Amino acid sequence: MVKGFMIDLDGVVYKGDTVREGSKEFFQYLKKENIPHCVVTNHSSFHRKYYSQKLKRMGIEVPMEMVVSTPYEVAIEVKKKEYHKAFVIGRQGLIDELFDAGCYVTDEPDVVIVGYDERYDFQKLTKAIRWVLNGKPLWVANPDRLLPKEDGFYPDSGSLAAPIVYATGVTPLYFGKPFRHIFEIALEIMNMKAEEIAMIGDTYETDILGAKGCGIKSIYIEGVQSNPKIDSKPDYVFKNLMEVLENIESIMGE
């Protein structure tokens, strides 16, 4: 029986700075009914506080502690491995999460970390390749090939890491959905079991397959992939969170 929700952000709750239909009402209902929930995003650009503040500006209340992002996931692993120095291809939010975990950006790293980076260039690529060839582990904040924005698609972390992977022949450690670790973090934060949760997402390759791999029910929001070529189907398909809200009693009753 579904007792709580994990909710993707980009494409589900909002698109860029535009709130999608039903998002406010859906979160208001969850809060009113004391239904456990957290947001889970693969986007590697921002610190968790950014998402909490952005959602608040949109009229949606989600405390920072209930935001699970790939920079936060990477920071948890950095702390676990006791890495204190990282060469980072990525934006400030990823750097800030690493800093909170006691890991600093340097050109003499313990680990090479690749996230979304609009200032990605040949020099960064070369440095990353050389450090990985010298034996430093390669971590990729999320496997996504493309990042959808209001004006179109941009190359995401998976694409930016691909030349490093090709050049070095190294298999990186990937973070984010569809891999199990980020779902486990979210379950721990909510203090819930996999069979009690439904994941709401708009990307089959990450949200839906990741949820299914962890024994979590999946709710697909149509948008990014209208005809995904994947055999494994979600448990539910809706146009937006308004439709999820309209069917929430039947979803949670099963």
Select from 64, 65, 56, 70 the least CA-distant residue to 27. 56
> Strand, coil or helix: what is 77?
helix
Q: What is the pTM of this model?
A: 0.93
Percent of the chain with pLDDT over 70: 96
Fold of 71-174: Rossmann fold (3.40.50)
* For residue 116, pLDDT beyond 90: yes
Q: What is the mean pLDDT of residues 225-247?
A: 82
- DSSP-H helix ranges across 6-156: 23-32, 48-57, 70-81, 92-100, 122-133
In the chain, what are the domain boundaries? 4-42+180-253, 71-174
Res. 66 pLDDT band, cuts 50 70 90 = very high
> Which pLDDT band holds residue 254 (cuts at 50, 70, 90)?
low
DSSP string, 148-190: EETTEEEE-HHHHHHHHHHHH---PEE-STTSHHHHHHHHHHH
Whether the per-residue pLDDT at 241 is higher than 60: the answer is yes
The answer to whether 202 and 12 have CB atoms below 8 angstroms apart is: yes
Average pLDDT of every residue of the chain = 94
Cis upstream peptide for 109 (omega within 30°)? no
Cβ neighbors of 7 (< 8 A, separation 6 or more) are 13, 37, 38, 39, 40, 199, 200, 201
Position 169: which residue type? Answer: G
Q: How far is the C-alpha of 171 from the C-alpha of 182, rounded, in Å?
A: 19
Which stretch of DSSP H or E encloses residue 210?
A: helix 209-213
| Residues 157-214 pLDDT 10s | 999 999 999 999 999 999 999 999 999 999 999 999 999 999 999 988 899 999 999 9
CATH for the 4-42+180-253 domain, from 3.30.1330.60, 3.40.710.10, 3.40.50.1000, 3.90.1170.50: 3.40.50.1000
Confidence of residue 115 (pLDDT cuts 50, 70, 90): very high
